[in-house]
Structures are given as structure tokens and as C-alpha cells.
Amino acid sequence: MKPLVLLAMNLIALCPLLAQQSTLKAEYFNGTNFEEKVTTRTEANIDKTWNDMPPVPGLDPHFCSIRWTGRITAPETGTYTFSARVDDGIRVWVGGVQVIDNWQLNDNGQSTGQVKMKAGTAYDLKVEYFNALIEGEVTLIWQLPNADKPAVVAPQFFKEQPKPTAPAAKAAQQPAAQAKPKPTNPEPKPKADPPKTGTALVQPEKLVDLPKDTLEKYIPKNVLFVQGKAIILDKSKPELDIFAQFLQRNSSYKLKVEGHTDIIGDMAMNQTLSEERAKVVADYLTQQGIGQERLTSKGYGSSRPLVKGNSKKGYPQNRRVAFVVYY
């Protein structure tokens, strides 16, 4: 009986901890602006990455939005720097203050903002996210006032928002004339202006020759060709099909397809090959119903390597196509 008694005692001691378990309310939607709710559940943190497999059943992994709400507790007093590793758009509010507003296409982009917090205080938290292009990624990060570097926000700092007490609920049901007005800070609406030029995956010296009002420069991971030829491998077509669906859903977007090669071989032949590969990708998208007036293609040969130098390790990364999405 002694082991059973010890087990019971341990469970009794654990109950208060379980009751205080850190949780966030997570709402999942199909559509990039919370159009169709799929499910609601509780989660311990905000740190997700996916491709074809959605984080919850029934969710379109390539065309979705998520809203997390709860509370976040500050372990020390001072100015906190919040950031997010995200693909694509994100907005973050802490204590009613919007610290991040990056509601646009991003490919592994970083977003940052600051807010003052007091040790031991729990602040209302809301995080909104959307994915509209192939992979999905969202991670909430903060840097504490006295920390040397940022870190992913750990689950122990999140709490579920408390439910309204009975008196508060009763007051909420009273006529507006009897209720005391409270000051509100309305959340800013998404900007209608086109997003600024994206810098994801592009080094500063390579931000050239981009169309005006560029949303994102995106390098697909699975668009491959027969070696030395401008023939798309069959295993590349599912990703191109998903991209065509993205363009069909966003009829105002245009696309520039860039072709790039490594430094192996004749420079002139590489230039020709890059042009042909970019064109064959654009032609494939046209076959999927994307109007030719929305597509352009250009080859750059080996003139714009992602990995510089003669190391053979960089050759596969430099043999690529890139998509530039713009208005």
C-alpha cells in the first residue's frame, strides 16, 4: 500500500500545478483573413513549421490564418523586444499595444517591436498569423531586458485568459446607459497600401532588378530539372500546382520567374539554360490557367549565386529558380 499512498500524495501535490498549466487559445481558419473557422483548441506555445501536412485536420496548409489569445507574464521589469520568425504575415499585441505589424508576404522574415513590462504582471496577448504561400512558419520570440540574446517564448510564460466573473458578466448585460464607459484602444486596421519591398532570402547587394511593389522573393525548394536541360522533373509539379492555385486566389498578383545556374561550364550556355528554365516554368503556370500578362521570366546564368566562391557545396543551392511576387 505504501507506493499507492505515495502516488496519491504526489497526485494531490500536482493538482494545483495542473490547474495553473500554461495555455493559449488557438483558433484555426481556412483563408488568409479568418474567413472559415476550422477548429479551436488550447496550445502551450507559438512555435510551428509545416509544409503539406497541416497543423490541425481540415486546415488548408497553404491558405490559412491562426489567432492565439491568452496572457503573457513578464519575469522581470524593463523593455522587452518581441520578434517573430514568420512565413508569411503576423500581428502581435501585448497589453493592448501593437508591437508587431507585418501583415504581408514574408519568406522566413523577421519582425520586431518593443514594449515595457513589469515583473510578475500578466498582460493580455493576441497573435494573428496568415500563410498564403507554400510553407507555413510562425515562432514568437522575445528578448528580456537583461538578456544577451532573444529566445523563443517558453510555455511557462503563457496563461489562459481568465473567464469573466459573475458580477462582471451581469454588468456586461446591463443597458449601455447604466454601464460605466471604459476607454478603448481600437486595433489599427490592416494597411490598404501595397506592402513595402520584401527582403526575405535576398542579400542587400542583390536587391536589384526587382519589380516595383515587390511582395516577396521566394525560392521554391522542390522545383527541379533534368540535369543540363530545361525539362521540369515530374516531382516538381505538385509544388508548381500549389503556386498556381495561390496565383489564382490572388488575381492582383503578378510573377517574375528567375532562372539561375552554378558556375560550372560555359558562361554563355549557362545563361541560355537559365533563360530556358525560367521560361518553361512560366509556360507551365500558363498551362495551369495563369494569364501570360501576369508572368515574366528572365535568366541570370551564374551571375547571382546564393553561395559565392568555387566550393562544390554551393553548387546545388545556386542551381535554382526564384519567384518574385509583386503587384
Delimit the domains of the chain by residue range: 21-161, 204-326
Q: Could you give the 3-state DSSP secondary structure of residue 172?
A: helix
pLDDT at 109: 55
Topology of domain 21-161, CATH: Jelly Rolls (2.60.120)
Rounded CA-CA distance 277/93 in Å is: 44
Mean pLDDT across 67-89 = 94
**Equal fold, 21-161 vs 204-326:** no
Centroid of chain to Cα 72: 21
pTM of the full predicted structure?
Answer: 0.63
Rounded CA-CA distance 223/217 in Å is: 15
Out of 3.55.10.10, 3.30.1330.60, 3.40.50.2300, 3.60.10.10, the CATH code matching 204-326 is 3.30.1330.60
pLDDT over 70 at 13, yes or no: no
pLDDT digit string, tens, across residues 154-194: 999 999 887 766 555 555 455 444 443 444 443 333 333 33
- DSSP-derived secondary structure for 239-265: HHHHHHHHHHH-TT-EEEEEEE--S-S
pLDDT digit string, tens, across residues 293-318: 999 999 999 998 877 766 566 577 78
* Mean of all residue pLDDT scores within the chain: 80
pLDDT at 309: 67
Sign of torsion over alpha carbons 211, 213, 217, 220: negative
pLDDT digit string, tens, across residues 182-226: 444 433 333 333 333 332 332 322 445 677 777 777 777 778 888
Rounded CA-CA distance 50/217 in Å is: 19
Q: Max alpha carbon distance in the chain (Å)? A: 83
Q: Strands, E, within 177-228: which ranges? A: 214-218
pLDDT digit string, tens, across residues 117-145: 999 999 999 999 999 877 889 999 999 99
